Amino acid sequence: MLPHTTEQVHPDAHKLSDATLKDAARALAKGQREAAEAPQQAISAICSGASAMARSLTSDGSLYYVAAGSSGLMAAADAMELGGTFSIDESRIHILMAGGLPQSAHMPGDTEDDIHGLSEQLAQLGPQDTVIAVSASGTTPFTLEAARLARAAGAALIGIANNPGSPLLEQADHAIALATPAELISGSTRMGAGTAQKIALNMLSSLMAVELGHVHDGMMVNLRADNSKLRARAVGIVSRITGASATDAQIALDQTGGAVKPAVLICAGATSVGHALTLLQDSAGRLRPALLELPKRQNKTD
């Protein structure tokens, strides 16, 4: 029986030992580029998975990211960005990494086999939730047990694995098969497999945000501006969408407590914060239809 793709030897692997360091570097870069193509073959599953995530967040559900090892690091990196980028409440995001999130550079490998405690960690799981389970091999016991519990609870299950036909993908509602080539360093799935996973996770969360109306013309209009860089970005977004001056954009953001969407509507002609929030409520949080509605409502009051 052939080993999983993630365990096979790459045909260019000899270049890491028998060639110059620059040739080795070129081989590694090529391997990463090839791996980055894998999500292109999983577009449909990524889109359906993103829609499931959006449904969970609009129906009082939560997102559960579950993985072990380097896959866990990829999953955690995506999950931990959702608050600052899209203002997803941290209480709606759960990270279950085998052995817990590392507190140092030491990351023990045996934790991926330990399924004890998972049932307690997922005790609140229900049909309104979405589980994003990531495993390069698609056979990691920790991740498979979480997937089993997700299915038992009726939660939506997104499976991400680099070996097509693996057990994780077979039981997933949204099976994202990232058929990456063998690793240049055999079995080192932090490399090509990890790159493809990170891209797929980025796509999932970004498309989820699009579904929720948190992205407008490529701008993160639901960001949480909690540092000077993001506050400046918020001003820029409001100005770019409405044509308002930086000063007027800042005044509007001060009125809305830093919330970008209502600030945009105020600069576009909404008469108050309450008016802006009503427009957003009527448009399910989507900025474009709210902006299109503004002239209609203004005309009715003229």
Catalytic pick from 7, 34, 81, 293? 81
CA proximity to 215, closest of 288, 115, 110, 134 = 288
37 catalytic residue (yes or no): no
Beta-sheet strands, E only, within 200-255: 215-216, 219-220
Give the 3-state secondary structure of residue 205.
Answer: helix
Within a 10 A sphere around the Cβ of 209, how many other Cβ atoms? 23
Q: Is 81 an active-site residue?
A: yes
Sign of the CA dihedral running 213, 203, 174, 194: negative
* 113 C-beta neighbours (distance < 10 Å), count: 11
Identified catalytic residue from 112, 145, 183, 211: 112
Strand extents, DSSP E, the chain: 63-67, 93-97, 130-135, 156-161, 174-177, 215-216, 219-220
Q: Are 194 and 47 in contact (CB under 8 A)?
A: no
- Length of the chain in residues, anyone? 302
C-alpha 166/C-alpha 183 separation (Å) is: 18
Q: Which sequence positions are flagged as catalytic?
A: 81, 112
